[in-house]
Amino acid sequence: MTDTALLVLEDGQVFQGKRYGAAGQTLGEIVFNTGMTGYQETLTDPSYHRQIVVMTAPHIGNTGVNDEDDESTQIWVAGYVVRDPARVPSSWRATRSLDDMLESQGIVGISGIDTRQLTRILREGVMRAGIFSGDALADVPELVARVKAGEEMAGAHLADAVSVAEPYEIAPKGEDLGLHVVAVDLGIKAMTPERMAERGLRVTVVPSSTTGEQILAMQPDGVFFSNGPGDPAAADRSVGDLRKVLDQKVPFFGICFGNQLLGRALGYGTYKLPFGHRGINQPVMDRTTNKVEITAHNHGFAVDAPLDGESDAPAGYGRVKVSHVCLNDDVVEGLECLDIPAFSVQYHPEAAAGPHDAAYLFDRFIDLMKGER
Ligand SMILES: NC(=O)CC[C@H](N)C(=O)O
């Protein structure tokens, strides 16, 4: 079987490379990630469901993969595009090569791509794409037609496809603060409840289908909505569940998709960014302390809320402040409610992978639950 693979963009542009991971066909929205490290966490982040991920860092796989850094039980990216994969992985933590991990989970990838040129194209706007190798190769017009028949990310509701089937509990590690958080899994990364447990919280992770009433019946001290794939505009059910929590003034914290859902629950709109933020090197201003933090991002949508001053939540939850802003493009990166105990960020304080600058947000959640804000 030939090792040739083709990456085909919806606008008809074609890149030729070599099979990386499994051979076959995959379709998805093609997006780029600017992280220099953390490929294992990226691959297993459920928010990448249905996306083909291009790594802008040229060398991928250098440290192989290990048994500790998965952010969920499987790889979620739809396909993987790299420039120069490591031939010999080297790390004392590695248990296998990245190529092996991709292949064993049937993830179709491509290597040898000029990812710099590709990223310049995607900065004009993300689009649908496909990777084809082995038996899936065909002539280019046929492959473009398959790509165009693929699903769009706008309008996609994907949280239920990645969420857990049954609730599970994570016990506090170290000192028990006696506080219980119900964390709704819309595509949660493993490190998020872990960061809470490390601070002494008891966390019950529940499926995305858990209703607002069911959440409240657990009498939580705080409610958390996780990151997750898909278009927040298609998540009306979760917005309704969240409003039930906000109505009862139960302390709330949201990350990424959870931030977009808080935005929607407050009555703001969301919109699709031209190419999104993905990587572990994104500058964000915390407008409460005026400190700049370097943060981990993975989002293609954002909340449309007034940047300056306080605004009245259109859905009637009192005053809201945009608490964090991305310094690259002024995109809303955090919301803080001033009259109800709720806040959220668009980025990833759990930092897996990524810098730990934003870990204080978990402490803010604890303060909110203790009524100390
Ligand atoms: N990581 C996330 O939660 C992503 C949220 C949403 N799917 C987006 O792309 O913006």
Q: Is the pLDDT of residue 22 over 90?
A: yes
ipTM of this model?
A: 0.98
Q: Which ligand 1 atom lies nearest to the CA of residue 273?
A: 10
pLDDT tens profile 148-183: 999 999 999 999 999 999 999 999 998 999 999 999
Asked if 245 and 315 sit in the same domain, the reply is: yes
Asked if 198 and 117 sit in the same domain, the reply is: no
pLDDT tens profile 359-370: 999 999 999 999
Last residue of a domain, one of 124, 148, 172: 148
Cβ neighbours of residue 214 closer than 8 Å, sequence gap 6 or more: 206
Q: Is the pLDDT of residue 373 over 80?
A: no
pLDDT mean over 118-147? 97
Question: Whole-structure pTM over 0.95, yes or no?
Answer: yes
Asked if 124 and 265 sit in the same domain, the reply is: no
Structure tokens at 341: 């105990």
Determine if residue 64 is labeled as part of a ligand binding site: no
Q: How many CB atoms lie within 10 A of CB 161?
A: 16
**Ligand 1 within 6 A of 300 CB?**
yes
Point out the catalytic residue in the list 256, 297, 324, 333.
256
Q: Give the CATH number for residue 283.
A: 3.40.50.880
Last residue of a domain, one of 148, 173, 194: 148
Rounded Cα–Cα distance for residues 85 and 296 (Å)? 23
Rounded Cα–Cα distance for residues 253 and 258 (Å)? 8
| Residue 153 belongs to some domain of the structure | no
* Arithmetic mean of pLDDT over the chain: 97
Q: Is the pLDDT of residue 283 over 90?
A: yes
Atom 5 of ligand 1: nearest residue by CA position: 257
Asked if 192 and 116 sit in the same domain, the reply is: no
Last residue of a domain, one of 89, 120, 148: 148
Structure tokens at 358: 């934003």
The domain in which residue 272 lies consists of 159-369
pLDDT mean over 242-257? 98
Determine if residue 300 is labeled as part of a ligand binding site: yes
Determine if residue 279 is labeled as part of a ligand binding site: no
| Residue 356 belongs to some domain of the structure | yes
Q: Are the C-beta atoms of residues 125 and 275 closer than 8 Å to each other? A: yes
Residue 234: cis peptide before it, omega within 30 degrees of 0: no
- Number of separate domains in the chain: 2
Asked if 98 and 166 sit in the same domain, the reply is: no
Residue 350 bears catalytic tag: yes
pLDDT tens profile 59-78: 999 999 999 999 999 999 99
> Which is it for the CA torsion 141, 143, 149, 151, positive or negative?
negative
Rounded Cα–Cα distance for residues 6 and 314 (Å)? 47
Q: Is the pLDDT of residue 1 over 80?
A: no
Measured in degrees and rounded to the nearest 5, phi and psi for residue 302 equal -150, 165
